[in-house]
Structure 1
């Protein structure tokens, strides 16, 4: 399962006028993100500050810097570095984000979605600050390719889920240690659930044309699946009936995701069970009870599928989380380069 390496809270300042500031900035940026090219504004001394914290499913980076350009070039998109989404929240300053032949003006309150698997560019003409959340594409409750439809689209913190999500990320940036505490996984998951809901809301609002109609139906189907994961009889036929479409049409709509309906149901169940087995509030539940709660009628099948997906048995995973909780062990590291 793809993850990010944990990062203990780190805050570094790079003073303008120091000759090594830019080279040190580039080194840290390459450690925290999939490789990027940083080009400062000509004729101006570069300076800035980076504060970062993260765990396996979410990394948060608070960046303040002088004007510069950032490029995610095609020749640097390799390996797992392509398998992440980034969502940025503009705090102050002005800039432009470009991806997929679209251009987005960034101003305070702007939210931008980036796909690290495709080239993009950020250009800041003023001093700026923004907060960036980066997470594996598999961390959202949406198929990997769907959120990418929002890259470089105008999104904001002005109302609705955008305002809620903005408040949440600003709170995390002000209290980074929360992500590494005993409730850190739950905190991260709540944020990722907000991102998933926000993306789905925005896709439905902007739906136009035949493909958009299929996307809207797909989003409704995905919500239905999540609401009925505990039902062992959940299958393509019951989903099609609930949405008054044929199974064939359901398969056609699901072709947007690149996975089958049954495979998606299994993935959502396994991820839900994995979270529950790590949740301190669910310690009284046995592995068998967790399997049943997530729609697995055959508990032997659940164990085999869990081990195949995560490389560990459900019981061993639960025991590992309990040991880490007792030890207060979040395995933090200052920085890492696993995103290359």
Structure 2
């Protein structure tokens, strides 16, 4: 369900205070300064996509800042990826400055101060999620905040295209698919961050890295398919099975094992849910491509040292 916050019904004199509150409630507490004598109408349209919030913001010129006192007070640990659609954003964090143009995106980390200046009317979409969902180190994340990403590199272009598709289809995404799409987004972003930080085999040619990342994205998008095979993956990317295996040599794990690890991690997350509608072990296994529940239990125990049923029961006990 969408949530719309708009200054349209308000008088011009009341809009600044309302907008300050709307922005802080949607994202994290922020200082907002409007740069119009008579603030124009501004709106925020927010939708949930699993653990990720997708918010489209349309407004006039303004400056937004996250101050140390706010960080100390609320302690929120979130990451926001902002895709510019119209207008230009000037961002600052961790000693860097970046100018973000339409079609480009940038990151901010709520745990440290940042500034964002929008000097003209703008339209943007923000993807807002818990820091814990992004599996990168603090050092890696800190190295790419206030950095402009766009269509000039293979992986950032891949992620930019994915974000545009998410933005246009967020309203139509079924609640049951939200967490999966949010996870795919965080996985792609983690790959981009690690590549920029130099962990993805920097000695390899760029074309090889780009192919590996495209293959991984395909695998992640099709994890739920129990018939997903290496032959199919190789065929979909017009490479030989031997070349596919060679791509994963730098990963320290086989392609098949990489798929299994991704499936197991997503099953673990679903089994950790403590709501009354938490799915059964068999349902979770089948939903992430494990056709055989007994096989799933064996590989889960090998990976985590505990059976999936014991893991789920422990999570529920801790929640109570």
Shared fold per TM-score greater than 0.5: yes
Change (3 A) 1:64 1:161: same
Deviations 1:149-181 (A, max 9, x none): 201123223441222222222222222234443
User: Is structure 2 residue 296 aligned with structure 1 residue 290?
Assistant: yes
Q: TM-score, normalised by structure 1?
A: 0.64
Shift of 1:69: 0.6
By relative contact order (CA 8 Å, sep 6+), the higher-ranking structure is 1
Deviations 1:263-322 (A, max 9, x none): xx9x99555533482763548543x543433462676465555555xx327xx9xxxxxx
User: Is structure 2 residue 43 aligned with structure 1 residue 31?
Assistant: no
Alpha-carbon separation, structure 1, partners of 2:180 and 2:37: 46
Aligned ranges 1:14-53 → 2 under 5 Å: 14-15=7-8, 18-53=12-47
Change (3 A) 1:99 1:132: same
Change (3 A) 1:221 1:59: farther
Alpha-carbon separation, structure 1, partners of 2:286 and 2:37: 52
Alpha-carbon separation, structure 1, partners of 2:7 and 2:250: 45
Change (3 A) 1:81 1:170: farther
Q: Match for residue 142 of structure 1?
A: 136
Note the aligned Cα RMSD (angstroms). Answer: 3.7
Alpha-carbon separation, structure 1, partners of 2:87 and 2:128: 21
Question: What residue ranges of structure 1 are gaps of 5+ in the alignment?
Answer: 1-7, 209-219, 232-264, 317-340
Alpha-carbon separation, structure 1, partners of 2:111 and 2:136: 17
Alpha-carbon separation, structure 2, partners of 1:137 and 1:197: 15
Q: Match for residue 280 of structure 1?
A: 287
Aligned ranges 1:246-325 → 2 under 5 Å: 270-275=265-270, 277=284, 280=287, 282=289, 285-286=292-293, 289-294=295-300, 296=302, 300=306, 303-304=309-310, 311-312=315-316
Q: Match for residue 241 of structure 2?
A: none
Q: TM-score, normalised by structure 2?
A: 0.67
State the aligned residue count: 259
Deviations 1:187-246 (A, max 9, x none): 2222222111222222229999xxxxxxxxxxx999547965789xxxxxxxxxxxxxxx
Aligned ranges 1:234-245 → 2 under 5 Å: none
Shift of 1:84: 1.2
Shift of 1:81: 4.2
